[in-house]
Amino acid sequence: MESLEDYRVEIDRIDRELTILFEKRMDMVLKVANYKKENNVQIFHKNREDIVFENAKSNLINKDYGDEVVKFFNATMEIGKALQRRKIDDIKKLAEVKVERSAIDKSRRIGFPGVSGSFTEEAATKFFGDKIEKSYYEDFEDIFKALEKDEIYYGIIPIENSSTGAISQNYDLLKKYGFYIVGEEYLKIQQHLVGLKDTNLDKIKEVYSHPQGIEQSSEFLKKYENWKLIPFHNTSTSAKLIKDLSDNTKVAIASSRAASIYGLEIIEECINNQKDNNTRFIVISKELKVVKDADKVSVVFSLENEAGTLYRLLRYFAENNINMIKIESRPTKDTPWKYFLYVDFEGDIDSEEVLNALKLIEKNSGYFKLLGAYKKKI
């Protein structure tokens, strides 16, 4: 019978082999990254990651290890991305090559979630103007997939609300797809209870809306505990559904514009919890673009589970007299108690103070990515 020591010896042997293979993989990761940069090839390909995961699972003899092998390869790929950004980083590109500043091309096709009448469409019109080519998509991730396939040139999505806070899903999607922020827009949000003509509050059974619409109107909805709250793709899609169902026991939470477009009436006005209810939207692109008068920067970096890590990284902003506007943390999912920190701050990406702070943060964090430099709206 083999002893515990025999098992340990065998594990040590396998670990040595893994170390050699890991080093070879990192060498190859850098070669691929350099090739992509020199030949102007897109760095991130989500489909490639999915293929790696599927191949890893199919190569297993013991299929019970399927979830574990995906986590193993995902962690390895995240380490590879961090290495690429440390060796071939966006900050170096901005500092040394001086990326040419260019205006947002408002003639290009944009995509946003929902149908005509959505708040996001309204924000898009406010940012791009009335004469825009637009495509509608069902869910937030559909926008990212459309960008990845070049169906659209820009996407616009909500990222935070003054009443309910961050829209966490969209922070995670930014990280997942590796896209950039090229602009922002703010919109005052007024949620209304809308339905068919002659809809009576006492007869309502179901309320449809995006989860944000429901959450932003939670205080009003508490007064009607018998109503069934049904999360749906989008506030405007919810309004269209009520029109299509033609059932006055069902209502939606949506904008007055959506109600008008789909021939619905406003049953109760301004039901959102806070009267000063605003949503911040971001314009996203596959490419890093910096407009001429950019004065706001967004970055994401990893936060290790070690005492003092947060202080050490954030003090670089203070030491360089940089005003942070927002901090949002998201779990890495694959490693317990490890987080990605999203930070928005004021500053010129070409300034010595900003570049100095970002280089120090990048150097002292396992993962770092410049998300964008753009013009702030408020």
Residues that are catalytic: 279, 281
| Phi–psi pair at 107, nearest 5 degrees | -90, -5
Other Cβ atoms less than 10 A from the Cβ of 310: the count is: 15
Which residues does residue 296 pair with via DSSP β-bridges, in sequence order? 346, 374
Q: Quick one: which H or E segment has residue 52?
A: helix 46-59
Residue closest to 91 by CA, chosen among 367, 377, 355, 285: 355
- Structure-token pair, residue 347: 């500053």
> In degrees, to the nearest 5, what angle opens at C-alpha 316 toward C-alphas 311 and 321?
120
| Phi–psi pair at 275, nearest 5 degrees | -65, -35
DSSP per position, 215-283: HHTHHHHTT-TTSEEEE-S-HHHHHHHHHHHT-TTEEEEE-HHHHHHTT-EEEES--SS-SS-EEEEEE
